């Protein structure tokens, strides 16, 4: 299971980031599954080492253009390639009508079978080796997060052990392999589990976009190997995130921490954090890492092979101690769910309330208040005394500022 990011920008493409798409390569079956298909995804595929002809399934999170405007072009090109026999597309209600309209009005005929599935929360695909489930996230229109889970594999069967004990070749080996207990003609019994290594845990990948912090993302991502979560905004833009129902870096990190995933990738960045701007994606990374250390930034063409079994990091040091960043105190293994939402909102609200109070008491505008809070976030203020010295006109002790 190898992930390739094909687009990591939100809304519009930038010079270095295309709009949303993630490819999951399953080498054992020579298939690629796509998650979202923003405009020019097929161009990105051409620039990658992925083969478009291997695309077998496309999972669409929601109907916003930055997630679907590349779909029809890609489907058309797959038809011209002449090597595709079937593509299954999964997505929210109205995706089927969108595709049907595009096919009709552009007079497009696909020479392969295109099957469009309307998803609901729950299982959307399963074939014994892989299961795909989805959950409704919290965005301005219905948006689904997806989880791909690989089935556990039976552990290695030690045939030499069975041979050494004189167990005759044949169907008995098959039974031992399955962990069953067998009895030989001479009366000896053997427990198959003693001949097999423990089963290898299947790998999993979760893709959550677009959404503000939500419980269903936490539930979908439980114990996943990799969580890809949108982080459209930095923590200081939490107001915007709530207004537009997108996530901040810290919301994504909180989902990762509560779900106890192994690795978090941030993606779907606002163009306002492009290189040269005052706040950049590296700042978003630092914010997220303060809550969930094993966080990485996605960028276009970044590839990540999900490690199997023992290669995978076993320990998840998800401990958030970043109150100076408006974060929340988390302990590993702490109870999750309902408490999360209740804890998240005040953490964000502190900033909002603080800024409003500062504006009133100082007679400054929102941008200046933000700048002061930003300095505090960057730990340039280490103590209340320093703030009092720099901004003596503020009655700091009456403000809701935590250090």
Residues noted as catalytic: 66
For the segment 41-100, give every residue that binds Zn ion (CB under 5 A).
64, 66
Q: State the CB neighbour count (10 A cutoff) for residue 135.
A: 24
* CA atoms in the 13 A half-sphere facing the CB of 394: 26
Minimum distance of Zn ion from residue 64's CB (angstroms): 3
Number of residues that bind Zn ion (CB under 5 A): 4
- For residues 157 and 207, which CB has a smaller minimum distance to Zn ion in the complex? 207
Interaction of residue 177 with Zn ion, rule CB under 5 A: no
What are the φ/ψ torsions at residue 55 (nearest 5 degrees)? -65, 125
218, 258 Cβ separation under 8 angstroms: yes
Q: C-beta of 237: minimal distance to Zn ion in Å?
A: 15
Q: Which is nearer to Zn ion, 59 or 173 (CB)?
A: 59
* Residue 119 tokens, joined: 């998803």
For Zn ion, give the closer residue by CB, 66 or 283: 66
How far are the Cα atoms of 136, 257, 260 from residue 215, in angstroms, in the given order? 10, 12, 13
| CB hemisphere CA count around 396 (13 angstroms) | 17
The CB-of-33 to Zn ion minimum distance in angstroms stands at: 19
Of 204 and 248, the one with the shorter C-beta distance to Zn ion is: 248
Q: Tell the smallest beta-carbon distance from residue 146 to Zn ion (Å).
A: 15
- Is the CB of residue 215 less than 8 Å from the CB of residue 305? no
Nearer CB in complex with Zn ion: 138/193: 138
**CB-based contact 306:3 (threshold 8 Å):** yes
The residues in 154-173 that bind Zn ion, with binding defined as CB under 5 A, are none
- In the complex, least distance from residue 40 CB atom to Zn ion, rounded to whole angstroms: 15
Please spell the DSSP secondary structure of 137-151, one letter per residue: --SSS--EEEEEEEP
Range in contact with Zn ion (rule: CB under 5 A) among 7-15, 77-85, 125-133, 144-152? 7-15
Round to whole Å and give the CA distance between 300 and 165.
55
What is each CA distance from 187 to 96, 140, 174, 177, 191, in whole angstroms?
A: 62, 67, 19, 20, 13
Position among 210, 237, 287, 300 found at the interface with Zn ion (CB under 5 A):
210
Considering only the stretches 10-18, 89-97, 149-157, 326-334, report the one whose residues sit in contact with Zn ion under the rule CB under 5 A: 10-18
Residues making contact with Zn ion (CB under 5 A): 10, 64, 66, 210
């Amino acid at each position: 299971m190898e992930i390739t990011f094909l687009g990591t920008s939100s809304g519009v493409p930038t010079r270095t980031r295309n709009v949303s798409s993630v490819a999951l390569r399953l080498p054992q079956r020579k298939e690629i599954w796509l998650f979202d298909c923003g405009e020019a995804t097929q161009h990105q595929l051409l620039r990658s080492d992925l083969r478009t002809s291997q695309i077998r399934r496309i999972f669409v999170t929601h109907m916003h253009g930055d997630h679907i405007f590349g779909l029809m072009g890609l489907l058309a090109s797959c038809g011209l390639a002449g090597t595709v026999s079937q593509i299954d597309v999964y997505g929210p209600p109205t995706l089927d009508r969108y595709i049907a309209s595009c096919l009709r009005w552009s007079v497009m005929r696909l020479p392969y079978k295109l099957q469009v599935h309307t998803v609901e929360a729950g299982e959307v695909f399963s074939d014994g080796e892989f299961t795909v489930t989805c959950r409704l996230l919290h965005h301005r229109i219905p948006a689904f997060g997806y989880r791909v889970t690989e089935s556990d594999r039976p552990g290695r069967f030690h045939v030499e052990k069975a041979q050494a004990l004189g167990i005759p070749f044949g169907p008995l080996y098959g039974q031992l392999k399955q962990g069953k207990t067998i009895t030989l003609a001479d009366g000896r019994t053997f427990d198959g589990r003693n001949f097999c290594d423990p089963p290898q845990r299947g790998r999993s990948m979760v893709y959550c976009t677009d959404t503000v912090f939500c419980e269903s993302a936490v539930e979908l991502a439980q114990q996943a190997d990799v969580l890809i979560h949108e982080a459209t905004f930095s923590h200081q833009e939490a107001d915007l995130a709530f207004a537009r129902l997108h996530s901040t870096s810290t919301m994504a990190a909180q989902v990762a921490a509560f779900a106890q995933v192994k690795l978090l990738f941030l993606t779907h960045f606002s163009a306002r954090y492009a290189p040269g701007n005052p706040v950049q994606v590296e700042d978003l990374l630092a914010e997220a890492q303060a809550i969930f250390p094993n966080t990485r930034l996605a960028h276009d063409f970044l590839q990540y092979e999900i490690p199997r079994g023992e290669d995978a990091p076993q320990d998840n040091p998800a401990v958030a101690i970043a109150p100076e960043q408006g974060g929340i105190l988390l302990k590993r293994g702490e109870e999750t769910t309902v408490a999360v939402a209740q804890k998240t909102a005040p953490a964000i609200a502190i900033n909002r309330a603080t800024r409003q109070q500062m504006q009133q008491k100082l007679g400054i505008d929102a941008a200046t208040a933000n700048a002061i809070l930003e300095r505090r976030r960057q730990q340039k203020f280490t103590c209340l005394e320093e703030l009092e010295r720099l901004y003596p006109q503020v009655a700091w002790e009456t403000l809701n500022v935590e250090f």
